[in-house]
Structure 1
Amino acid sequence: MATKEDKPLIVVKRIKKVAGGHHGGAWKIAYADFVTAMMAFFLLMWLLASVSKEDLKGISEYFKMPIEKIVSTGPSASGSSGIFVGGGKDLTRKDGEVSKADDNSDKAPQRMLDEEGLKQLKARVESAIEANPQLQSFKKQVLIDITEDGLRIQIVDNLKRPMFALSDDELQPYARDIMKAVGKSLNGVENKLTLSGHTDAHPFPNKEKSYSNWELSADRANAARRELVNGGMDETKLMQVTGLSSAVLYDKTDPLNPINRRISIIVMNKKAQERIERNASIEAGNADAVQKGIQASAPGIKPVAKPDVKP
């Protein structure tokens, strides 16, 4: 017969669960990582908001570039002598060595702008005028648009604020400032320029007719050219400077409108530039043919020597 001592002893353990117990502090590390990631995210957003669209496009193109091109030798897009495009100094270069890229280190790299590049140049010119407090009140007199020949910048007259003295080619001080601001903005690109002066249909007050709106518009175009150069524009960028009198009116409905008195600058696209270069070559060829014809018909006549005059 089993006794009381022979029965098995049953022990029941009850574990009391407490919510939010100790986790060893791993949550602190996770939280620190989260805060760091958020800080990096907001820093990235701030950088994207503060960088211009041109710089963002350049960064995007950089990462699209093949690695072979990035590490290849030669001048970089930024003009630096670095082994990487846009980077610092070339660590592989020793003292006394000069890379070919350093030969033109004082010159900004130039490239022919396409339609998209001309739009960016348009924004740059507008920003240059907007950033100058002295020119902000005159920005309505600067008309900028894209034409089939390229980027056109027109500085137009205002009835209360003329660009030139009456019947004269002397630029007013504010017009000089505009020309200088525009001239600085046109460097750094390979595109060539044309510049033309325009008048309204008012006849020039000259009874002898020895000086007309044709001469006046040409003189005003040259006055504008001089101010563009004084502003820092490379004079070799100009391919054509013309005076068109009132032949090409801005406001065709009102030939006497002051807006017709203007200076027009065109930053030419590749097609327009090639057309002018082709026409210049044809004219040069015709001049040579005429000279040869004169020599053939009159062998005793010597060809006219070109004057040795610096531009």
Structure 2
Amino acid sequence: MSGHKGRRGGGHEEEHENHERWLISYADMITLLMVLFVVMFAISNVDQKKFAELSAGLSAGFGAPRFVAMDGAISPLSGAGPMIDPISVEIPPVGPPGGDSTGEVPAQEEAEKAASDLAAAQAELARLDDVEAQAQAALAAVGLQDRAGFRVTEEGLVVVLFADDVFFANGSATIQPTGERVIDTLGPVLLGAGSPVSAEGHANHLPVGAGSIYPSNWELSAARAAAVARRLVEVEGLPASTVDATGYGDARPLVPIADPASLTTNRRVDLLLRSNASPEVRALLPTLDATRS
């Protein structure tokens, strides 16, 4: 009998070593590489039409030029050839609301603004005409229609009070009785108009006489304007906050000094009924007034 005992059924054979396990890892790596290349290929094939639309939308939103690749570009992963050069598409920048890229108001809006200003100027001129008609009627009722003139400027309605000897004595700022009647007749009309009133004194080019208490036409014209403004407030009841007085001397004549009428015409006190309209509307008033003359 042999000294070595035979292996019985309860024994185990030594496990056979597997030398091909690397094939599993290799197969996994190949699979991952294939997935990687599929993903990269999918990324490289961009829908060119949608990309161009997206680029145009971004350009319109941000106001900057964009470079859009045209259809037919070669994928950088295919190696088949170079890509087609991109074409620069210039998208106009977005301008501010209500205007183009330069900030200018469109022609249609300009036309609408001009039409609106014209309508407002016509309405304001009609209001000033109504005040003038009331003033003329009031003066005519007391026989003083020739003591005042009327004209429309960019500032509003001007009532011209000619400061001759009937209104003011020579070299004096004391209002004569006839002048008081003129002011008292105009007072209720000006009060009812509800607009600020400026009394503006003017003188002719002759120097103040030696007997006057005023050293020059500046002081004389200012004193006459103040006298008229004071009566409007203290006698006629116009709010003091809406009345002011200014003296211009002989700096703003109505007619040239060579005109013989300048001695009486330029010596005056203007009552300016100020317009409350916008500057654009007021600028149209003289033109509208002239076209109907």
TM-score (norm 2): 0.48
Larger Rg, first or second structure (1 or 2): 2
TM-score (norm 1): 0.45
